[in-house]
Amino acid sequence: MGWQGTLGFLGFGNMGGAILGGLLEAGTLSPDKAAVFDVDADKCRAAGRLGVKLAQSPADLARMSDTLLLAVKPQDMDEALVQLKPGFSPSTLVISIAAGVSIDNLRERLGSDIRAVRVMPNTPALVGAGAAGIALSEMCTEADAERARMIFEAIGIAVMVPEEAMDAVTALSGSGPAYFFYMVECLVRAGMAEGLGEAEAARLAGQTLLGAGRLLSESGERASVLRERVTSKGGTTAAALARFEEEGLERAVAAGVAAAAARSRELGK
């Protein structure tokens, strides 16, 4: 099914640009069915080079759009919605990717009867490998759910969750890329301690992360199964995993994710 109506982007930073680029590349959306407004003139010009429509203001964008993607920073959301509201119609589907901005926050500013979707994407969306959690308000229809899935599956995968699970999504996949980057940093330093040069260690660690992720994604196997296949009894991998367990790696990961979830709840208040 082709895209119906106009998808408006309020904000055209890295994530907004990644989403629009993914939709255009996938053929899900044609340039004439997208509109953009950003306070940064350079970003508007960048959007214009893609052939999309440019709005003159947030209210103008709202009037042009059947679906609105709110891609502004959380701290800028209140002001953006004030400027948006004069052109906003309650029939417009609203999709927010701003961390910590709840569906109730959107309702308070745009109307209690709006159809609103809250999404937590992550930065691998910039390379078409994102993971997004999607929460729907009770006013949303199955068509709205499908529309949200179409957007975020163009840049990775999308998982439907209740809104109360969004703090967990934030802690797991929203912040998750940083955890893996940190693991790579640790592996590089450990490899250097064992005699590798930094460039070689970085290249090997980065490719190992990429390969492990692709194998997990494409094999359809659980991580535990793949781990067991690599782990020969009495071998090098078994030695490393045993030490990780002794040092409390699982406890550290669980504590970190819990801390991120707690901070997400605090920011959402």
Q: Is 158 found in the same domain as 185?
A: no
- For 202-244, write each residue's pLDDT tens digit: 999 999 999 999 999 999 999 999 999 999 999 999 999 999 9
Q: Is 188 found in the same domain as 83?
A: no
- For 162-183, write each residue's pLDDT tens digit: 999 999 999 999 999 999 999 9
Asked whether 156 and 128 are in contact (CB, 8 A), the reply is: yes
CATH code at position 33: 3.40.50.720
The 3-state DSSP composition of the chain as helix, strand, coil percent (nearest 5) reads: 60, 15, 25
Q: Which structural domain range is residue 228 located in?
A: 174-267
Asked whether 83 and 91 are in contact (CB, 8 A), the reply is: no
CATH code at position 234: 1.10.3730.10
- For 20-40, write each residue's pLDDT tens digit: 999 999 888 999 999 999 999
pTM: 0.91
Q: State how many domains the chain has.
A: 2
Name the burial class of residue 139, with classes exposed (0-12), middle (13-18) and buried (19+) by CB atoms within 10 angstroms of its CB: middle
Residue carrying structure tokens 């500013």: 109
